[in-house]
């Protein structure tokens, strides 16, 4: 688990790049060791967090014949199986690292090796003889990769702050459309012009070759797509398949040469992981919980992992966090984040990883289960929609098109109210062009947006950034690509049950959990990470919203619209536990964006 910067030189430069200026921006992604490499064609800078093969896994890594160089940030969870396959084909290995497996696999199979790997990564492999680079990113985009080019160089890096060296990361170079899309959608879908002008995001599940004799053109190729064709079988079949995939996903994510921990909230996601780790895989692991004070009146007495702790006979390390500590941390939180985010829970994750970083470098989480299996409060409203679409299959696709156009119109209207220069909804325009979304229904569209867009930063980039900052790698078994494929092919009736079923969300997961736990553990009310803090009330009562977002006016945002939304949101919190989704999103995202922008303007 590492960070790298890889510079391709379009022509011979008069002066070599200063290592200190590039390595300092990579240190937050690993501080166990560093490395670099220079010649007339490339300059490489690397910082490492050592997870596998501490002694011989350093990077940048050269193959034994010194024909190839690899920069690899991430983990290949199935590297042992791949190593065995390659060994049987005559490949000799000189380290125990997954990086060497990736390099030798590429040498043997080329880009087709990407279809064999299971992991999270961004990487570059340089071929010295052919003077070309192979660039690739994992299926879900869990590991970041950004790039910039001018007439002299192409710079690719895992860290946005690296591009401070080219004067790109400042408030004068912001892409305003990206900021508006962040407030509306929780993220950005514009690969060609990301949050900063001239800075681009390498898309997930893609690879390309950058060749000197072709002027290093970026010709992206996608190597993985979702298939939404539903499988036809009974519930028991799907439960058994789900159990096998989840158990194997957990098993391969426990591979490391260091101690492991599990964030155990008491919810069904992390509890199921805990059961499989202890009872099925018989593995030792540290259990950890962030135990914040009960700041909300509607908190149930069983809103903690004590039932799981007793049932599994395990010991949980409880970390305390009160609201005063939380609010103090919020003031400095965005100083460490390279991109804006909308996750108030990030402070809890930060404290958790700081606590375990001294004794465990791996942290398993239940991230992704909600997106994969319709697990959020409010997802139960799709029961009726599911029933109607199942009963009217002939107009499924028409329904999808109607909903899609409605979302585009609705979100574009909000965008224009937020900012007068918002001309079109780039977010949905790019989603609409995606070949994976042809001929899918409403529920599949909701699933797709949840997995690949609305949670891109919250489930992938942000946990990665927070963990590595504290010398911890975060791994999420529910985000194994095989479980994504399983969920996309799962009939809707096994995701969202019929109206007669007394199950609100995560139907297939709860049916699996019935094999492990008593029903009182499975079917208690969903709470979520950091629930006790009641973030709505916390921010409404302790922040002067008008003062906090005042800096947004200098970027052209409509402050009156934001203040009007705040009043509506505040009134809704008095009437209902879950306020209007768009109103809530605009409130939190504008507040968090203003904090992030303060960092840029200092």
* pLDDT band per the 50, 70, 90 thresholds, residue 57: very low
Distance of CA 209 to the CA centre of its chain: 25
Q: Say if residues 26 and 159 touch (Cβ distance below 8 Å).
A: yes
pLDDT of 503 reads 59
Helix, strand, or coil here: 566?
A: helix
What DSSP letter does each residue of 314-340 carry, written as one string?
A: --EEEEEE-HHHHHHHHHHHTTS-SS-
pLDDT of 336 reads 76
Phi, psi torsion values for 209, nearest 5 degrees? -110, 130
| Residue spans of beta strands (DSSP E) within 118-259 | 119-127, 132-137, 146-149, 153-157, 200-201, 206-211, 221-222
pLDDT of 53 reads 46
CB atoms within 10 A of CB 181: 24
pLDDT of 261 reads 95
Q: Say if residues 434 and 222 touch (Cβ distance below 8 Å).
A: no
User: Among 130-134, 231-235, 285-289, 319-323, which is the least confidently predicted range?
Assistant: 319-323
pLDDT of 155 reads 95
End-to-end CA separation in angstroms for the chain: 31
- Give the total residue count for the chain: 602
Q: What is the mean pLDDT of residues 256-283?
A: 92
* pLDDT band per the 50, 70, 90 thresholds, residue 560: very high
CA distances from 12 to 39, 71, 157, 355, 423 (A): 10, 22, 20, 47, 42
Task: Look up residue 16 and give its DSSP letter.
Answer: P
Report pLDDT digits (tens) over 394-410.
445 555 566 667 677 77
* Measured distance CA(399)–CA(408) in Å, rounded: 14
Q: Say if residues 141 and 127 touch (Cβ distance below 8 Å).
A: no
CA-nearest of 414, 396, 464 to 583 is 414
What residues are paired with 124 via a beta bridge? Answer: 71, 135
Percent of the chain exceeding pLDDT 70 equals 84
CB atoms within 10 A of CB 432: 13
Out of 96-105, 405-414, 447-456, the most confident range is 96-105
What residues are paired with 201 via a beta bridge? Answer: 146
Percent of the chain exceeding pLDDT 90 equals 47
Report pLDDT digits (tens) over 286-306.
999 887 655 455 545 445 688
Q: Say if residues 2 and 49 touch (Cβ distance below 8 Å).
A: yes
Q: What is the mean pLDDT of residues 466-492?
A: 92
Q: What is the mean pLDDT of residues 333-337?
A: 76
Q: Say if residues 370 and 506 touch (Cβ distance below 8 Å).
A: yes
Whether the per-residue pLDDT at 170 is higher than 80: the answer is yes
Q: What is the mean pLDDT of residues 369-389?
A: 71
User: Among 43-52, 441-450, 486-495, which is the least confidently predicted range?
Assistant: 43-52
pLDDT of 357 reads 72
- What is the bridge-based pairing of β-strands 362-364 and 260-263? parallel
* Measured distance CA(124)–CA(140) in Å, rounded: 17
pLDDT of 142 reads 92
């Amino acid at each position: 688990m590492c960070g790298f910067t890889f510079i391709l030189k379009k022509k011979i430069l008069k002066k070599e790049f200063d290592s200190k200026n590039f390595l300092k921006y990579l240190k937050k992604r690993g501080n166990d060791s560093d490395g670099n490499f220079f010649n007339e064609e490339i300059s490489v800078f690397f910082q490492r967090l050592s997870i596998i093969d501490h002694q011989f896994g350093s990077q940048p890594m050269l193959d034994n014949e010194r024909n190839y160089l690899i920069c690899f940030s991430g983990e290949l969870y199935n590297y042992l199986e791949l190593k065995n396959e390659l060994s049987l084909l005559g490949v000799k290995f000189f380290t125990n690292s997954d990086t060497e497996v990736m390099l030798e696999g590429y040498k043997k199979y080329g880009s087709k090796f990407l279809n064999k790997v299971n992991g999270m990564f961004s990487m570059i492999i340089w071929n010295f003889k052919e003077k070309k680079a192979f660039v690739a990113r994992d299926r879900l985009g869990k590991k970041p990769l950004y790039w910039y080019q001018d007439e002299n160089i192409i710079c690719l890096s895992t860290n946005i702050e690296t591009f401070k060296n080219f004067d790109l990361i400042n408030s004068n170079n912001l892409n305003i459309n990206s900021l508006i899309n962040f407030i509306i959608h929780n993220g950005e879908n514009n690969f060609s012009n990301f949050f900063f002008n001239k800075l681009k995001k390498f898309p997930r599940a893609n690879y390309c070759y950058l060749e000197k004799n072709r002027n290093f053109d970026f010709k992206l190729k996608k190597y993985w797509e979702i298939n939404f064709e539903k499988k036809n079988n009974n519930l028991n079949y799907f439960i058994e398949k789900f159990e096998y995939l989840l158990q194997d996903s957990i098993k391969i994510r426990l591979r490391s040469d260091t101690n492991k921990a599990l964030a155990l909230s008491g919810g069904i996601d992390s509890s199921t992981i805990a059961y499989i780790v202890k009872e099925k895989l018989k593995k030792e692991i540290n259990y950890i919980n962030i135990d914040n004070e009960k700041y909300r009146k509607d908190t149930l007495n069983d809103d903690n992992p004590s039932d799981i702790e007793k049932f599994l006979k395990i010991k949980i390390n409880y970390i305390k966090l009160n609201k005063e500590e939380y609010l103090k941390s919020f003031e400095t939180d965005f100083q460490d984040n390279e991109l804006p985010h909308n996750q108030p829970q990030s402070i809890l994750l930060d404290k958790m990883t700081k606590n375990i970083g001294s004794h465990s470098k791996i942290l398993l989480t239940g991230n992704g289960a909600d997106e994969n299996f319709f697990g959020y409060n409010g997802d139960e409203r799709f029961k009726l929609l599911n029933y109607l679409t199942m009963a009217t299959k002939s107009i499924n696709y028409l329904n999808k098109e109607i909903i899609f156009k409605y979302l585009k119109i609705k979100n574009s209207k909000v965008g224009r109210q937020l900012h007068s220069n918002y001309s079109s909804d780039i977010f949905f325009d790019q989603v609409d062009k995606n070949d994976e979304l042809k001929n899918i229904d409403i529920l599949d569209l909701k699933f797709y947006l949840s997995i690949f867009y609305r949670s891109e930063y919250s489930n992938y980039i942000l946990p990665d950034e927070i963990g590595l900052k504290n010398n911890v790698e975060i791994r999420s078994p529910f985000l194994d690509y095989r479980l994504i494929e399983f969920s996309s092919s799962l009939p809707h009736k096994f995701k969202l049950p019929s109206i007669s079923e007394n199950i609100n969300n995560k139907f297939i997961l709860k049916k699996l959990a019935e094999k492990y736990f008593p029903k009182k553990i499975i079917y208690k009310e969903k709470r979520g990470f950091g629930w006790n803090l009641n973030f709505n009330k916390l921010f409404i009562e302790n922040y002067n919203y008008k003062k906090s977002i005042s800096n947004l006016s200098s970027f052209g945002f409509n402050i009156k619209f934001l203040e009007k939304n705040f009043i509506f949101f505040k009134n809704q919190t008095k009437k209902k536990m879950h306020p209007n989704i768009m109103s809530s999103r605009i409130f939190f995202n504008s507040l968090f964006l203003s904090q992030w922008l303060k960092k840029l303007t200092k």
